[in-house]
Amino acid sequence: MSGTRTKASTTVPPAVAATTTATPSQFAQLDQQVHATLARLSSSLSIASGLLAGSDWAMHLAVSPGKQLELLQLAWMQAAQLTQYGMASASAGGSIGADATRLTAAAPIVDRRFSAPEWQQWPFNLLHQSFLQTEQWWAAATQDIWGVEKHHEQEVAFAARQLLDMCSPGNQLLSNPEVLRQTIAEHGQNLVRGAQQALQDIQQQLSQAPRSDPEGFAVGRELAITPGQVVLKNQLMELLQYAPASTAAKVYPEPVLIVPAWIMKYYILDLSATDSLINYLVQQGHTVFCISWKNPGPAERDLGMDDYLQSGFHAALDAVSAMVPKRRVHGVGYCLGGTLLAIAAAAMARDGDHRLATLTMLAAQTDFNEPGEIGLFIDESQVSLLEAQMAEAGVLKAEQMAGAFQMLRSYDLLWSQLVKKYLQGETGSMNNLMAWNADATRMPARMHSQYLRRLFLNDDLSEGRYPVNGKPVALSDIVLPTFMVGTLTDHVAPWRSVYKLHYLSPAEITFVLTSGGHNAGIVSPPGKPHRQYQLMQRKAGAVYMPSEQWQAKAPQHDGSWWPAWQAWLAAHSGAKVKPPSLGNHAYPPLAPAPGSYIMEK
């Protein structure tokens, strides 16, 4: 045996060597692939986020005996109410005849989903009342629990509502008296038609073929028909200039530039001739320009917020300024387009660019601290999951965004539609707004990630951290006269969130709160019934008024808010002049409106 000591072997097994030589980016890529797979399996919903919310709620409820006793008491009271209502129903013989009104009035809970007379007949009256009491109990069980994080509380409450909506007696054949009555009357033909429609939908889903325009609602023929020309086209957008009204010998000198959101196609603002905000402005004597965003595919995956600002808004503003020289421009932004407009206006104020005359913000947020129920889908876990999936696809698919909005209003947008289509066999009465809503768009991966993180997660814009050209912008620099519209039942941009610009900017702000939701509240032409709005102006630099006080104080008006806005635009415009030509030598007309980007599926 030799006395010489041997050096320990430094040979690394091949499998270990392969692992230790991997780069950090390869590890990250592995995580991205795993998360993308999870996203596909979970319909892009974060399981981790749901588990965290559920465990937070369950653990805090478990150590809240007072809340448990409160829920026990509520259950006891509900049982007594249901028993009392059942006895009243039994004494009436369970009929829906003369006692229907009395039974409806005696019902512990009244809900529009179960307002049909058939729901007042035994046993369906007890069935729907039991369901509504269950909803009421879970609403109480998922709120006001000591120690539960607010976002987690909202997630649990939302999940409970979704599960209960799924189990609603109105969604089942044997527990829906309206469907049963129709089935008997039609000898089951409604179910045959529903099955045929279900088969067609399944075939379309499996083929992944793009949906065609519904009959009678073709873009360029029945929708988006205001005459005009495409005067600019780049990789991101087409700029449309609309022809002056045939009756307009003169127009207001300041043109109007509309910046729509890119999560929807612009023609929400140019539906049929009677429902077109763009056509209304043209008829009132305004020169109107509108951006039509490209429906992006994987090739546009790297387009970001800066591209939408530079190649979108600023490219359009440069073109408008060239075609209508020496005139300031009325900037109009809808939804996310309004947020982009606010970013641009703040940057222009910072840099001494005075080409804007006014701002109009339609259902557009600038403070995202309270974004409403859409915020349920936006936390670090959820955003990371979406980013992993978008890294593979290059875009957020249209059906993913549509699915999120359907969940926010699951009864109106999902379950009631499924019942009508598959159980009642209705083909559905389409209208222009429904046709537009079905024409969804995609979003580039980079842009979608940036706006989720910068605006929703970090709230950079309202906090003065949002960068433009390497320097942050401040909404407090915006001093242009501003017209804002919030919609009373908006589930995308809650009106109190929209209202927050009042304490972020010292500008003169005219605020309108109109009836309706995010879309129907904006598409509100004169002559439509059951429309109301409140309007009040805050002078520049005036003391801040909270939204609740504003709502209590602002005068109420019947009808559409469009004429009030047009009067405001006219008051901030000069004397009328001869209409400008469509395009010029630098921006010649390229094609008739609505252009080609709007046609992309």
Residues designated catalytic:
335
Asked if 505 and 372 touch (Cβ cutoff 8 Å), the reply is: no
The CA–CA distances, whole Å, from 354 to 125, 303, 345, 502 equal 64, 27, 9, 21
End-to-end CA distance of the chain: 81
Across-strand partners of 258?
290, 332
Both tokens assigned to 44: 């892009």
The residue whose two tokens read 């988006």 is 224
What sign for the dihedral angle of Cα 344, 345, 347, 348?
positive
Angle at which helix 150-166 crosses helix 47-62, to 10 degrees, equals 100
Q: Which of 157, 140, 139 is nearest to 54 (CA)?
A: 157
Q: Which two tokens stand for residue 543?
A: 């003391």
Cα(62)–Cα(138) distance, rounded to whole angstroms? Answer: 15
CA proximity to 303, closest of 404, 235, 397, 231: 235
Tokens coding 277: 């905000």
Whole-angstrom distance, CA of residue 268 vs CA of residue 277 = 9
Q: Is 202 helix (H, G, I), strand (E, B) or coil?
A: helix
Instruction: With CA atoms as reference, report the closest residue to 126 among 140, 101, 109, 139.
Output: 109
DSSP 255: -
CA distance linking residue 566 with residue 16, whole number of Å: 71
SS3 sequence of 327-379 = CCEEEEEECHHHHHHHHHHHHHHHHCCCCEEEEEEECCCCCCCCCCHHHHHCC
DSSP 2: -
Who contacts 271 (Cβ-Cβ below 8 Å, separation ≥6)? Answer: 223, 224, 432, 433, 436, 523
